Amino acid sequence: AIATQTSVTSSASTVVLLAANANREGYTIFNDSTQILYVSMAATATTSSYAVKLFPNSCLSSELNYTGVISGIWAAANGAAKLVEYSG
């Protein structure tokens, strides 16, 4: 597998954390922020509509074959998300 590392600056508006990728085999999202990151398995994330509430300095890892877009929004802009995407 190939691991691709990226970083996305935090935002109080929806941002794409990982674009759709048919070759994705897994991913890791680390919330490198002092604010909560709300993660959505869709093009839009809000603080009331999300899949995972990722607290500051915490990590979400998945080996599921979800290949769609992953978006996020922070409670307030501060820090970034550190991402690793695994593909074959």
Digits of tens for pLDDT over the chain (88 positions)? 799 999 999 999 999 999 999 999 999 999 999 999 999 999 999 999 999 999 999 999 997 889 999 999 999 999 999 999 999 8
Global model pTM greater than 0.75 = yes
Distance CA 80, CA 8 (A): 5
Phi, psi of 81 (to 5 degrees): -110, 130
Cβ-proximal residues to 74 (8 Å cutoff; 6+ apart), any chain: 10, 11, 12, 33, 35, 36, 37, 38
